[in-house]
Structure 1
Amino acid sequence: MLELYSDRLRLRTVVASDWDNFLFTHSNEKLNEFVRKPQSENAIREKFERVLTSKEFVEGEWLLTVIEQVHDQAFVGFIGLQNSDAEMQQLQVGYMLHPDAQGQGFATEALKAIVDWACLVYKPHKFIAYCVAPNIASTKVLENCGFVREGLLRENCKIGEQWFDDCIYGLLAAERC
């Protein structure tokens, strides 16, 4: 079981008892405003089962972890890495925090922790993040962690019936590790 610690947080492997939090974060309209139109419970359950059974971090797969507060194990959210391009040694990052945990620096702390750990374990060349342009909070998290905006993909992300521009952020591992 994976366990990473920062000053205030523990990042750990997702287990079956995390279902309620997984369902909430993937079905909540407000949390998914800049991610996707919430899916059906069955689709979310299938995604959860894949997370539970995923054993190898091969290209295309996500390594998802739960973010909890260290002192009381209160649920904060999820953060993960995707092995997006093995040949180019690129890992994509993504995170989603519970509304009660937002605005407290938890996303920044968790992202720094998982990037540092990934540098040691996977030795990537680069980390990548996609962020829809109106998601200012996520933009701030990425920039606080040293990510640099490298481009804009116009109308690259469709959420519901609305198209959004995707900002591409990158962090060279050599600049972080």
Structure 2
Amino acid sequence: MTNFSDELYYKRSLVDMTIQPMEMEHAKQICEWQYESPYDLYHWPPWDIMQQDEIEFGDPVLRRMQYASVLNRGQELIGFAQFFPIVGVTRLGLGLHPALCGRGIGTDFTRLITREAIHRAPKNSIDLEVLTWNVRAIRTYERAGFIVDDTYVRQTPEGPAEFHCMVYHSSP
């Protein structure tokens, strides 16, 4: 596993992050990420199950069309993005490597992914969903230019949960 605490390998700067198509090796790595509680609900199933059941980036077509890897300047995987198409909207899904969460890089990470979404579909609005209890993520998204547009309950694998839909307006 990469030691992201070494500043030689990672700096908190947009220029040090790039987006590229998600490779199968990156998808496998993401399935191994382990988040601390209460963020452990963001764990993905094991790679063999993802691939067998063609779940999300386990489906090669969906991976190619909707998913991207975010790499640091050393070409190490630091996160991923999903660009989910809805009529007139690009809905973002994103995940940062667990070792990098809470380290102050989420805003630049989110801005990079948002810029990519604008590049891919410039006429679309951009939104994302976030659990209402995830204050850390909500603050990050607000700093990246998103505002809460709606709040609702929807079903999750753990049961019903309350979400905010946050819409991108502009970079502060």
TM-score bracket relative to the smaller structure: 0.7 to 0.9
Q: Tell me, yes or no, if structure 1 residue 158 matches structure 2 residue 164.
A: no
Question: Using a 3 Å threshold, how does the CA distance of structure 1 residues 159 and 37 change in structure 2: closer, same or farther?
Answer: farther
**SS where residue 15 of structure 2 aligns?**
coil
Q: Tell me, yes or no, if structure 1 residue 13 matches structure 2 residue 21.
A: yes
Identity of paired residues, percent?
12
**SS where residue 103 of structure 1 aligns?**
coil
How much does 1:35 deviate?
5.1
**SS where residue 115 of structure 1 aligns?**
helix
Paired letter, 2:18: R
Per-residue displacement from partner, 1:45-80 (whole Å, max 9, x unpaired)?
223331x334875xxxxx21112211x223212122
- Measure, in 1, the Cα distance between the counterparts of 2:143 and 2:21: 25
**SS where residue 67 of structure 1 aligns?**
strand
Question: Using a 3 Å threshold, how does the CA distance of structure 1 residues 22 and 32 change in structure 2: closer, same or farther?
Answer: farther
Question: Using a 3 Å threshold, how does the CA distance of structure 1 residues 81 and 167 change in structure 2: closer, same or farther?
Answer: same
Consecutive unaligned residues of structure 1, counting only runs of 5 or more, are 58-62
- Measure, in 2, the Cα distance between the counterparts of 1:32 and 1:80: 22
Contact 1:11–1:67 (CA under 8 A) maintained in structure 2: yes
Paired letter, 1:164: A
Question: Normalized against structure 2, the TM-score is what?
Answer: 0.74
Q: 1:60 corresponds to which residue?
A: none
Q: 2:119 corresponds to which residue?
A: 120
**SS where residue 137 of structure 2 aligns?**
helix
- Measure, in 1, the Cα distance between the counterparts of 2:97 and 2:107: 14
Q: Tell me, yes or no, if structure 1 residue 80 matches structure 2 residue 93.
A: no
Q: Which has the higher strand share?
A: 1
Q: 2:61 corresponds to which residue?
A: 53
Map of 1:21-60 to 2, 5 A cutoff?
21-25=29-33, 28=34, 30=36, 33=39, 38-39=44-45, 41-45=47-51, 46-47=54-55, 48-50=57-59, 52-54=60-62, 57=65
Contact 2:31–2:45 (CA under 8 A) maintained in structure 1: no
Q: Tell me, yes or no, if structure 1 residue 66 matches structure 2 residue 98.
A: no
Question: Using a 3 Å threshold, how does the CA distance of structure 1 residues 137 and 159 change in structure 2: closer, same or farther?
Answer: farther
**SS where residue 141 of structure 1 aligns?**
helix
Question: Using a 3 Å threshold, how does the CA distance of structure 1 residues 39 and 55 change in structure 2: closer, same or farther?
Answer: closer
Q: Which runs of 4+ in 1 moved over 3 A?
A: 28-43, 54-57
How much does 1:14 deviate?
0.9
- Measure, in 1, the Cα distance between the counterparts of 2:32 and 2:37: 9
How much does 1:145 deviate?
0.9
How much does 1:136 deviate?
1.3
Contact 1:90–1:125 (CA under 8 A) maintained in structure 2: yes
Instruction: Report the aligned-residue RMSD.
Output: 2.8
Question: Normalized against structure 1, the TM-score is what?
Answer: 0.72
